[in-house]
Amino acid sequence: MRRRRFTVLLGLLVVLGLAAAPGSAAGFGTIDSGGQSREHERLTRAALSCAGDARSDPDCFEPTTMDYLAGHGHEFGAVGSPDRDELSDPAAHCDGADYVAGPYPRTRMQATASLVDCLNHMRLRFGEGVDKAQGLLGRDGEVLAAEVGLDPECRSDDEREERAKCATLEAFGRALHGVQDFYAHSNWADQADPARPIGDENPPGLDLPAPSPLLDLRGAAAPDPPAELSTGCYVARDEVPGVGACQLRVTHAGLNKDRGQIDPVTGAATDPTTPRGMVGTNFAKAVTGAVTETRREWRDFRSELVARYGTERGERMACALTHDDPVDDCAGANPVVAAVVLAGLVAVAVGAILWLRRPVRRSERGRAGSAGAAGHGR
């Protein structure tokens, strides 16, 4: 317990320290201070939370499960996990794939290689989630109560946390973090500042919609990005113009759209606070792209569960991952029990048919005798 508390405290101190810096590579925010407004949590809720009577919809997550996937209060949640222990890994946040046409310190090929690193990292997490989902069900397809219970709450920072639902959502959440950061850290959906010349301090914007074909986490193909695609270079002293290893390069500070207010119900994005986010509707476009992509990735995850484990098991796994009480809500029929019940029903039906036929025959014989006696009397 002490070790877990120390780990959480250390993680919070690191995030707070980075949040206080001129720019943070953490992407959309995970905490509610240092300029962050829990952006990852809020857009994840807007994308995947059940609303109203949609609790049985397989495309949405019920409240307690969503609390772990998105985070709440002081909890980072699965989506926020990379901001606790992968802050220094650019692949976890899609940083470092910077490029601008013309004289530039890096080639398009080098930028694409960094993008491949990010894509492979997300694919790894996505695949880990699909692997972990196998533990949700027993041999006969029954939902395992010990593997899907959420009391106590999942603790991804606890080495003893081994519940299959927690582990699956942890891996999937880490993949979601990367795809969400892609929209905040790249120029895929935004536009350049029209009042400034195009260059490393004002890279072009692609103004493209989501979902992005580059973020196919089920596939294995190398991405073929647009020639002008860029994400920001990041070093501890993140500023514009770039310094150190980011000198003369597009920086995270100059390109990110990480900060602003997001309505966790509608996904409406307002009050951006980063320079690139304040250009036109760039922050809103980044949030809309991330929400759309998050929904796409969950649909793809469900499809991969079905492809890997078959329709019945895959759909039950998806149900177990989205429902707060999956033992009751996702139980389905045990195939062994179903076979026994079916055999019993068949036996009862056959017996009923035989029983019904016997009195009919006796009645027919009785009526025939009476008719004969009446005829003989006449």
Convert the pLDDT of each residue in 112-129 to its tens digit. Answer: 999 999 999 999 999 999
Residue 181 binned pLDDT confidence (cut-offs 50, 70, 90): very high
360 compared with 183, residue with greater pLDDT: 183
Residue 358 binned pLDDT confidence (cut-offs 50, 70, 90): low
Residue 369 has pLDDT above 80, yes or no: no
Please tell me the distance from the alpha carbon of residue 342 to that of residue 350, in angstroms, as a whole number. 12
The count of other CB atoms within 10 Å of the CB of residue 372 is 10
Residue pair 254/202 in contact by the 8 Å Cβ criterion: yes
13 compared with 311, residue with greater pLDDT: 311
Mean pLDDT within 326-346: 59
Q: What is the pLDDT of residue 328?
A: 96
Mean pLDDT within 136-161: 93
Residue with tokens 């969950």: 298
313 compared with 376, residue with greater pLDDT: 313
Q: What is the pLDDT of residue 12?
A: 44
Convert the pLDDT of each residue in 34-62 to its tens digit. Answer: 777 899 999 999 999 998 765 667 789 99
What does the DSSP assignment read for 104-172?
A: -SS-HHHHHHHHHHHHHHHHHHHHHHHHHGGGGB-TTS-B-HHHH--SSPP-TT-TT---HHHHHHHHH
Mean pLDDT within 164-188: 98
Mean pLDDT within 192-206: 98
Residue 23 binned pLDDT confidence (cut-offs 50, 70, 90): very low
Contacting residues for 57 by C-beta, under 8 A, at least 6 apart: 50
Mean pLDDT within 209-229: 97
Q: What is the pLDDT of residue 76?
A: 92
Residue 305 has pLDDT above 90, yes or no: yes
Per-residue buried b or exposed e for 195-228, using 16+ beta carbons within 10 Å of the residue's own CB: eeebbbbbbbbbebebbbebbbbeeeeebebeee
159 compared with 245, residue with greater pLDDT: 245
Q: What is the pLDDT of residue 289?
A: 98
Q: What is the pLDDT of residue 367?
A: 44
What is the separation of C-alpha 61 from the centre of its chain, rounded to a whole number of angstroms? 10
Convert the pLDDT of each residue in 227-255 to its tens digit. Answer: 999 999 999 999 999 999 999 999 999 99
Residue-averaged pLDDT of the chain: 86
Residue with tokens 């692949």: 91
Q: What is the pLDDT of residue 332?
A: 65
Q: What is the pLDDT of residue 30?
A: 76
Phi and psi, residue 143, nearest 5°: -70, 130
Residue 222 has pLDDT above 50, yes or no: yes
Picking from 316, 262, 277, the residue whose alpha carbon sits closest to that of residue 70 is 262
Q: What is the pLDDT of residue 350?
A: 46
pTM of the model: 0.82
